[in-house]
Amino acid sequence: MSEIIKKIPSQIKKNKLKAGIFFGLSAYWGLIIAGTLINFN
């Protein structure tokens, strides 16, 4: 049981990192797409 408890913080850090990268890329592509649409209009 204690092994699982020790591993939880590293799992949370990995998930936060993945979520951060995913959110950052989504925001980046969202800005590019929005800018492209605004330029065409």
Instruction: Tell me if 2 is assigned to some domain.
Output: no
Which uninterrupted H or E stretch holds 1? none
Instruction: Tell me if 10 is assigned to some domain.
Output: no
User: For position 27, what pLDDT does the model report?
Assistant: 95
Q: Could you count the other beta carbons within 10 Å of the beta carbon of residue 9?
A: 9
User: For position 30, what pLDDT does the model report?
Assistant: 95
Concatenating the DSSP letter of every residue in 3-28 gives HHHHHHHHHHHHHHHHHHHHHHHHHH
DSSP for residue 41: -
Encode pLDDT of 1-41 as tens digits. 678 778 878 888 888 889 999 999 999 999 999 999 998 87
Place of tokens 């799992």: 11
Instruction: Tell me if 21 is assigned to some domain.
Output: yes
Range of the domain at 27: 15-41
Instruction: Tell me if 3 is assigned to some domain.
Output: no
DSSP-based three-state secondary structure for 30: helix
